[in-house]
Amino acid sequence: GTLHACDRLAQGVCHVALHWDGGRHHATQSQAQGFCYVNDVALGVLRLLDTFERVLVIDIDAHHGDGTETAFYDTDRVLTVSTHMYGPGLYPGTGSLEDVGESEGTHYNINIPFKDGVDDATFLQVVPPVMQEAVHRFQPTAVVLVCGADALA
């Protein structure tokens, strides 16, 4: 699974690894949430941090990656970028623009919240420039891409 993929990356066996069933980004250290009983994304990033200095997490999903954000909210070694729907009645109700991290992690958390019904043109107008600047400034040594199937809706 995710940990095996991260181990292979850390060992230099491959440069790209894929886990089709990964991306359980809602669970926190102490609680299962949103159909996620464990946060394999956070566990994988922790494994990568044993080898890589800076890890960029890009989370593209209809729902905010709240558990992953929480796991790394106060560190400057992980930059989390989450694109998601945001507004009244949308699960999990987190991921506002103002949530930028805290302590050493201040400005190492980027949320790109969209209103329900965002179209491709708007997404492509907003996300690529933000990602390019994030990569340029953070200079990650490893990247984790979380692609939620519901982001395709």
Residues marked active site are found at 26
DSSP 3-state of 54: coil
Q: Are 146 and 57 in contact (CB under 8 A)?
A: yes
In 3D space, the residue among 97, 60, 79, 53 whose CA is nearest the CA of residue 138 turns out to be 79
Task: Output Rg (C-alpha) for the chain, integer angstroms.
Answer: 15
Integer Cα distance of 85 and 91 in angstroms: 8
Instruction: Specify the amino acid at residue 119.
Output: D
Rounded to 10°, the helix 2-10/40-49 angle is 20
